[in-house]
Amino acid sequence: MTDLSPELDTLRFLQYEVQDRLAYITLNRPAKRNALSANVVTELKQAFEQAEADDQVKVIILRATGDVFCAGADLKYLQELQDNTYQENLADSTHLMQLFHQIYTLKKLVIGQVQGHALAGGCGLAALCDITFAVPEAKFGYTEVKIGFLPAVVSVFLLRRIGEARTKQLLLSGDTITAQQALEYGLITFIAEKEQLADTVRTYALRLARENSGHSIEITKEILARLPELALEDGLRYAAERNAAARASDDCRRGIAAFLNKEKLDW
């Protein structure tokens, strides 16, 4: 894999690598169960920004070291926040909100590679990925209500992903669920055995990077992010406008020409 980008050479809590048009963003605090803090969120924002801006990156893979994908907020950090003012806590909450929004609206495809439990904010990270693979042993859940906290920011995205009934079930109970249940709920996309997870994710990501137009992925993600905000007629009008604009794009011209000429196009 390539060396760390100059912009990210001071990372302490993450690893960032690029290989074959795939950017790997790896949570690297195994002793802390990859828990989130303000510094971790800052580095995640920097890494996603770098991957989005890199023309050599087509797909981003979010993964973690150790046995746990992410246990959510660092409890010691949360304890320290209790002495903050409201404005200080609002700034910290906004920091996390910006990361979640950044991942959700990123121009490039984001794949989650969940090798262990994903809880609270960690479950939020897993659910925000466009496509998420997880091992059968992984547990998922939003446990904030069990410690008097709120799963507030993630609720905005979770309602879109799995609907009101399942969101209420998960957020109000604070219960954890199995990977199979997470798959059935639509929280994750695929299950892969632990020994095969990395290779399965890599093979899938490379196929999408090779076979799919980056421009089409970007615009499709934009459409899917905006449609829930629009009334039916407004949504249809917006979709038709994006459809019309796409027909004039270079990628569409290349794709149609290759199809008509029975050529295999490598994006």
Catalytic sites, residue numbers: 144
The total number of residues written for the chain in this structure: 267
Q: How high is the pLDDT of residue 2? A: 47
| Predicted local distance difference test score (pLDDT) of residue 262 | 80
Cα–Cα distance for residue pair 79/76, rounded to 1 Å: 5
Tens digits of per-residue pLDDT, 100-119? 999 999 999 999 999 999 99
pLDDT at 6 exceeding the cut of 90: no
- Mean pLDDT confidence for 170-188: 98
For residue 7, pLDDT over 70 is answered with: no
Q: For 206-216, what is each residue's pLDDT tens digit?
A: 999 999 999 99
In tens, the pLDDT along 189-199 reads 999 999 999 99
Residue 72 scores a pLDDT above 90: yes
- Of the pLDDT bands very low, low, confident and very high (cuts 50, 70, 90), residue 264 is confident
Query: Quick check: 20 pLDDT over 50?
Result: yes
- According to the model, what pLDDT value does residue 87 have? 94
Mean pLDDT of 92-98: 95
* pLDDT reported for residue 5: 53
Q: What is the mean pLDDT of residues 167-184?
A: 98
The pTM for the full model equals 0.92
Per-residue pLDDT of 54-69, as tens digits, reads 999 999 999 999 999 9
The residue that leads in pLDDT, 95 or 81, is: 95
State how far the alpha carbon of 27 is from the alpha carbons of 140, 149, 163, 180, in Å: 17, 23, 28, 24
